[in-house]
Chain A
Amino acid sequence: MGLRLLVMKFGGSCLTDGDSILRAAELVRDAFNRGDGIVAVVSAMKGVTDRLLNMVEGSLRGEDVREEIESLRADHVEATRRAVGDVEVRGEVERIVTTTISELERVLTAIGYLEEVTPRSRDYILSFGERLSTPILWGAIRSQGLKASWMTGGEAGIVTDSNFGEARPLMENTRLRVEAKLKPLLEKGIIPVVTGFIGEDLDRVVTTLGRGGSDYTATLIGEVLGADEIYLWTDVEGLMTADPRIVPEARIIEEISFEEAVEMAVFGAKRMHPRALVPAMRAGIPVVIKSLRRPEVRGTRITGEVKIGEGVVKAVTLVRGVGLLNVQGLRMIGMPGVAGRVCQLLGRKGINIFMISQSVSEANISLMISKDRLYQAESLIENALLGTGLISDVYVEEDVCVVAVVGAGMRGTPGVAARVFKAVASRGINVRMIAQGSSELNISFVVKEEDGEEAVRAIHQEFNLSGKT
């Protein structure tokens, strides 16, 4: 084993074709030749997971999806040709791709017959994306003259509960198995190439890790093996001070703390799920986000240290796809139980509440919820509480968005909130709601959807996040 141990995860967004897989293999090779031990974690190639889901839907409707399957096969064979130089290895990978595809075909046919897909078989089908991409990177790495061994997340030792679609790892069993499986390989200088996103339950049935997916696989393995660094290779050059489509002068954040990154992930940094950061945070292992296309760019380094010197505000994000659920009640005053009931009802249905605000004087609770669950939430509350005399009205507002200002330096720096709201007000934007009780690492508030981008620009400028003087 090398002096350092790196986990390198290649995200689906950057695995677009054979050339990108070849680039990934070269990065692994370079790191290995520097003397580092490497574990590679691989996502499905770009768009493949969605294609698989479409095939499931198609099969359920009784459609013939053979054409889609064939094009999936062709794409992976083509990627193999470009990524794997060694003829013999290429043959091996192509055979794996072919067998895997015929297995997929069988499962989809079965679904067509049964006209039903269980969460369990959905997870199984989703796993094919990674099971197709991973052998290609494995072949590409071996073509570079290195020793490698590919395996599914389950085979690597990730054990989960049987909560299909969003399985949670049994940490201690995972720790034991992953160590037993990967350590001996690493000691022999073999590079484990592991499918991201998937694990298996105690009965060895394939599960998927759901949100956080492959990043989560990488940080889990990193934690368990005590890695020195975890690299998340993707199609962006790092986390940015704001979405560059909104703020053209936005720039890459070079260093950020876990706490701040989690806030950013919660509030809209779409490519990362906060839960994926937890294992790395727990173990204090730095996570580096880098671009596969431009590896020379430093990217963003997420660490346990908080550097406040860089300015109080690190980033400003815009969360769309959310809506407000307003619950109004005559008798809510002095009845704090209602807020609890509402949260409990939504929680039981797995509806996440991003923000909550309760104004006692107006006898009103406002909840920020994902837009696709908004109407479900409304009827849930309506059915349970309207007519009980507790509340008088429930209604939704769809045309809203959340602006979140993130930075550890806000803690203990007076006047930041005032500056934020002044900047927004100066552009004539009305703030609809301010989050209560959120951490001191962020200030988040709700504005009309059409005002969102302008609010982001206002704050970006106020705190000079582009770094211009």
Chain B
Amino acid sequence: MGFGVVGRALARLLLEEGERLAKRRGFRPIVVGVADSLGAAYDEGGLDMLEVLGAKERYGTVSKSSSGVRGMTGLELLGTVYADVVVEVTPTNLGDGEPGLTHIREALKSGMSVVTSNKGPLALAMPALMELARHRGAVLRFSGTVGGGTPVLDYGRRLSAGDYIEGVEGILNGTTNYILTRMTEGLEFQEALREAQERGYAERDPSMDLEGLDSACKLVIMANYVLGLKATLRDVEVKGIGGVTREEVAEAYHRDYAVKLVASIREDKLKVEPREVPRRSPLCVWGVLNAVTFKCRRLGEQTVVGRGAGGVETALSIIRDLAEVKRNLSGSLGGWA
């Protein structure tokens, strides 16, 4: 579902790495259907993805490929072809989660597993989707939603399986971190934003990042997956970086602090806000880097640092999830891995 930056990066990656995956890991994903906003293409025997990529490039929609159907929606595609796994990579929508929410819900309802990088449906309805997956014996994976290519969610989950995680602090959004970094170096907010956009770090409509909503979504996913809380976006107190001035940032810097957009969970409370972080702290990363600190009762603080998300990183995380789904299905372990 969805054939944009991430969907296409995944298709290319599967073409390039397919043979190696099959040989090394006995894992041979076959794409039987693709949908974009204008139509779909499907073939139960497996689509010729080179041709589908070509059609998308040339005509702007997969429905113009030889197996394409103009106007066929993602939902119709789900009802038409059987798949073991549905990869959901349509745009994030924090209003009602659509179309992703319906895609994921319907797939899980009919027992198909789901891999997604779409934060919207998870942020709005993660506990319900997890329950659905469990109920239908399907697997729901989403490691690309947080930390891009860095498997930070699973790292946290492993930690929490042994130790007790008392709190989480993270810099979860590359765009705002880049802007704050450049402001530390003397730019005004608007200048920094423009630069981020020029370099392709920020979307044309960067409001989700700037208002802290992107970080909030990731925090919700972390709260559910790592800490086992039943949270949704409404449970997060969110403040963006709109009010941060260059002077503030500079002044903090002189005291050996840095202003960061920090997402935190403490005593089951979820919060996103610009906050001062000691410059010596491992959490204090610069540029488009992300970092998450897990505060464990016995192991102490564990920090994971990684590059933020891009198309390829996210596609890689989807392959990782697909392999995980396969492991689960072949072990016939129903439920939520």
B131 within 8 A of A: yes
Q: In the docked arrangement, what's the CA distance between A176 and B231, Å?
A: 12
Q: In the docked arrangement, what's the CA distance between A235 and B127, Å?
A: 39
Which residues of B85-130 are within 8 A (CB) of A? 109, 125, 127-128, 130
Q: In the docked arrangement, what's the CA distance between A41 and B37, Å?
A: 42
**Would you call B135 and A161 a contact (CB within 8 A)?**
yes
Contacts of A175 in B (CB 8 A): 127-128
Annotate A85-120 by CB proximity to B: 1 below 8 A, 0 otherwise. Answer: 000000000000000000000000000000000000
Q: In the docked arrangement, what's the CA distance between A202 and B131, Å?
A: 12
8 Å CB contact of A170 from B125, B131, B230:
B131
**Would you call B131 and A171 a contact (CB within 8 A)?**
yes
Contacts of B128 in A (CB 8 A): 170, 172-173, 175-176
**Would you call A172 and B127 a contact (CB within 8 A)?**
yes
Residue of A with least CB distance to B136: A202
Q: In the docked arrangement, what's the CA distance between A203 and B105, Å?
A: 12
Contacts of A203 in B (CB 8 A): 109
Q: In the docked arrangement, what's the CA distance between A317 and B308, Å?
A: 64
**Would you call A172 and B109 a contact (CB within 8 A)?**
no
Contacts of A172 in B (CB 8 A): 127-128, 130-131, 230
8 Å CB contact of B109 from A171, A176, A202:
A202
Annotate A157-185 by CB proximity to B: 1 below 8 A, 0 otherwise. Answer: 00001000000001111011000000000
Q: In the docked arrangement, what's the CA distance between A161 and B132, Å?
A: 10
Chain A residues bordering chain B, tally (CB within 8 A)? 9
Residue of A with least CB distance to B106: A202
Residue of A with least CB distance to B96: A180
**Would you call B125 and A176 a contact (CB within 8 A)?**
yes
Chain B residues bordering chain A, tally (CB within 8 A)? 10
Contacts of A176 in B (CB 8 A): 125, 128
**Would you call A173 and B109 a contact (CB within 8 A)?**
no
Q: Give A180 Cβ to nearest chain B Cβ, in Å.
A: 9
Annotate A387-406 by CB proximity to B: 1 below 8 A, 0 otherwise. Answer: 00000000000000000000
Q: Give A325 Cβ to nearest chain B Cβ, in Å.
A: 35
Q: In the docked arrangement, what's the CA distance between A171 and B132, Å?
A: 10
Contacts of B130 in A (CB 8 A): 172
Contacts of B131 in A (CB 8 A): 170-173
Which residues of B211-242 are within 8 A (CB) of A? 230
Which residues of B121-153 are within 8 A (CB) of A? 125, 127-128, 130-132, 135-136
Q: In the docked arrangement, what's the CA distance between A170 and B127, Å?
A: 10
Contacts of A161 in B (CB 8 A): 135
Annotate B167-183 by CB proximity to A: 1 below 8 A, 0 otherwise. Answer: 00000000000000000
Residue of A with least CB distance to B232: A176
Q: In the docked arrangement, what's the CA distance between A161 and B230, Å?
A: 20
Q: In the docked arrangement, what's the CA distance between A63 and B304, Å?
A: 72
Contacts of B125 in A (CB 8 A): 176
Contacts of A173 in B (CB 8 A): 128, 131-132
Residue of A with least CB distance to B108: A202
Q: In the docked arrangement, what's the CA distance between A172 and B140, Å?
A: 16
Q: Give A110 Cβ to nearest chain B Cβ, in Å.
A: 27
Q: In the docked arrangement, what's the CA distance between A171 and B128, Å?
A: 8
Q: In the docked arrangement, what's the CA distance between A189 and B136, Å?
A: 37
Q: Give B172 Cβ to nearest chain A Cβ, in Å.
A: 24
Contacts of A170 in B (CB 8 A): 128, 131-132, 135
Q: Give B284 Cβ to nearest chain A Cβ, in Å.
A: 37
Q: Give B47 Cβ to nearest chain A Cβ, in Å.
A: 29
Q: Give A164 Cβ to nearest chain B Cβ, in Å.
A: 15
Annotate A188-226 by CB proximity to B: 1 below 8 A, 0 otherwise. Answer: 000000000000001100000000000000000000000
Q: In the docked arrangement, what's the CA distance between A202 and B129, Å?
A: 12
Q: Give B223 Cβ to nearest chain A Cβ, in Å.
A: 14
Contacts of A171 in B (CB 8 A): 131
Residue of B with least CB distance to A202: B109
Q: In the docked arrangement, what's the CA distance between A409 and B210, Å?
A: 57
Residue of B with least CB distance to A203: B109
Contacts of B109 in A (CB 8 A): 202-203
Q: Give B36 Cβ to nearest chain A Cβ, in Å.
A: 28
Contacts of B135 in A (CB 8 A): 161, 170, 202
Contacts of A202 in B (CB 8 A): 109, 132, 135-136
Q: In the docked arrangement, what's the CA distance between A207 and B62, Å?
A: 41
Q: Give B307 Cβ to nearest chain A Cβ, in Å.
A: 33
Q: In the docked arrangement, what's the CA distance between A277 and B127, Å?
A: 23
Residues of B within 8 A of A (CB): 109, 125, 127-128, 130-132, 135-136, 230
**Cβ contacts A to B, 23 pairs, < 8 Å:** A161-B135, A170-B128, A170-B131, A170-B132, A170-B135, A171-B131, A172-B127, A172-B128, A172-B130, A172-B131, A172-B230, A173-B128, A173-B131, A173-B132, A175-B127, A175-B128, A176-B125, A176-B128, A202-B109, A202-B132, A202-B135, A202-B136, A203-B109
11 additional contacts, CB 8 Å, given A172-B131, A202-B136?
A161-B135, A170-B131, A170-B132, A170-B135, A171-B131, A173-B131, A173-B132, A175-B127, A176-B128, A202-B135, A203-B109
Q: Which 8 A-B pairs have the closest CB atoms?
A: A172-B127, A172-B128, A172-B131, A173-B128, A176-B128, A202-B109, A170-B131, A176-B125
